[in-house]
């Protein structure tokens, strides 16, 4: 099994995708009846999409690249992911690995909102902070450039139960604003973050998640975000019905720390010579 982050669906000028993400016929009537029997309350996937797709965004991060000790350029290019609006004044949650590379977050990103047809409004967003230990990042856009922002309600991930219906909205493989649906397959999974830390309380789902879905919302039948889609477990690199989301309670805690400027900073890089010097590229 290969666990992968699913944030970067499209990497231009870069060889690898960001992250680790990182037969038989069926009686349609019987399936429809079984599905109807499962639903007792809440919104249908269609209703959730109609209500909240406009609050989901496409995020394009452009990385400047760097030079190795031989003077050769490495990294760089563009990565595509997903985010969602959490406040009327322009705050957007996503995954840290959507907007950071090798632990370094970009300063600005392009945020695309869903519009008529394929033409959505594009604005510049500022990355306020990215925490690789929880794989959560916070972006801010100018609300005057995007009037009428409608945030998606946030749920309580501590109350999530196995079997409840969920949907994911995102940009898998660059196919913008796609919907997939499924159920919560398991709770309290331990996920590995981009920097190797453990994210507790992870939500497992069989809703289809692919590269580009990272940073997008996992939404319950009440229309509330319960997690941020982050990883897949796959033998072939694509969706095999085993996806994972960072619990929204964790994401909210990190968001508030970023806003307050109290997010713990990573330890400084080691000083190999003990004199404060660094190695610069040619």
- CATH number of the domain at 197, please: 2.40.10.120
What is the enclosing helix (H) or strand (E) of 255? helix 248-260
Nearest to 38 by CA among 182, 159, 228: 182
> pLDDT in tens for each of the 282 residues of the chain?
445 676 554 443 333 333 334 433 333 333 333 344 445 569 999 999 999 999 999 999 998 866 666 766 666 688 899 999 999 999 999 999 999 987 888 999 999 999 764 457 899 999 999 999 999 999 999 999 988 899 999 999 999 999 999 999 999 999 999 999 999 999 999 999 999 999 999 999 999 999 999 999 999 999 999 999 999 999 888 889 999 999 999 999 999 999 999 988 765 444 433 444 333 333
Question: Could you list the active site residues?
Answer: 97, 135, 214
pTM: predicted TM-score of the whole model, two decimal places: 0.81
Alpha carbon of 36 to those of 25, 60, 208, 241, 259: distances in Å? 20, 38, 20, 22, 43
**In a domain? residue 272:** no
Vertex 81: Cα angle to 79 and 86 (nearest 5): 140
Listed in sequence order, the residues at least 6 apart from 68 whose beta carbon sits closer than 8 Å to its beta carbon are 74, 281
Note the pLDDT of residue 64: 82
Q: How many CB atoms lie within 10 A of CB 186?
A: 14
**In a domain? residue 133:** yes
**In a domain? residue 29:** no
How many domains does the chain contain in total?
1
Note the pLDDT of residue 105: 87
Lookup: tokens for 96? 């840290």
**In a domain? residue 33:** no
**In a domain? residue 97:** yes
Note the pLDDT of residue 273: 39
Note the pLDDT of residue 103: 81
Do 140 and 190 contact (CB within 8 A), yes or no? no
**In a domain? residue 220:** yes
């Amino acid at each position: 099994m290969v666990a992968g982050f699913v944030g970067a669906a499209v990497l231009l000028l870069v060889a690898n995708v960001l992250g680790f993400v990182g037969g038989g016929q069926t009686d349609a009537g019987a399936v429809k009846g079984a599905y109807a029997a499962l639903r007792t309350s809440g919104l249908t996937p269609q209703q959730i999409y109609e209500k909240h797709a406009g609050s989901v965004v496409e995020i394009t991060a452009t990385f400047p690249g760097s030079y190795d000790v031989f003077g050769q350029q490495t990294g760089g290019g563009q990565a595509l992911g997903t985010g969602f609006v959490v406040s009327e004044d322009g705050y957007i949650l996503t995954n840290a690995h959507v907007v950071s590379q090798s632990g370094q977050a970009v300063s600005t990103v392009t945020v695309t909102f869903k519009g008529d047809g394929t033409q959505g409004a594009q604005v510049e967003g500022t990355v306020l902070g990215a925490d690789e230990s929880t794989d959560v990042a916070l972006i801010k856009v100018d609300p005057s450039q995007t009037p009428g922002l409608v945030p998606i309600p946030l749920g309580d991930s501590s109350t999530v139960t196995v079997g409840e219906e969920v949907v994911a909205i995102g940009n898998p493989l660059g196919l913008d604003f796609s919907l997939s649906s499924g159920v919560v397959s398991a709770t309290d999974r331990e996920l590995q973050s981009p920097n190797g830390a453990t994210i507790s309380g992870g939500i497992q789902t069989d809703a289809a998640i692919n590269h580009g879905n990272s940073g997008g919302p996992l939404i319950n039948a009440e229309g509330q975000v319960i997690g941020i889609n982050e990883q897949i477990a796959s033998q072939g690199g694509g969706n095999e019905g085993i996806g994972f989301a960072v619990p929204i309670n964790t994401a909210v805690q990190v968001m508030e720390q970023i806003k307050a400027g109290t997010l713990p900073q990573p330890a400084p890089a080691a000083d190999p010579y003990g004199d404060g010097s660094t190695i610069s590229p040619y």
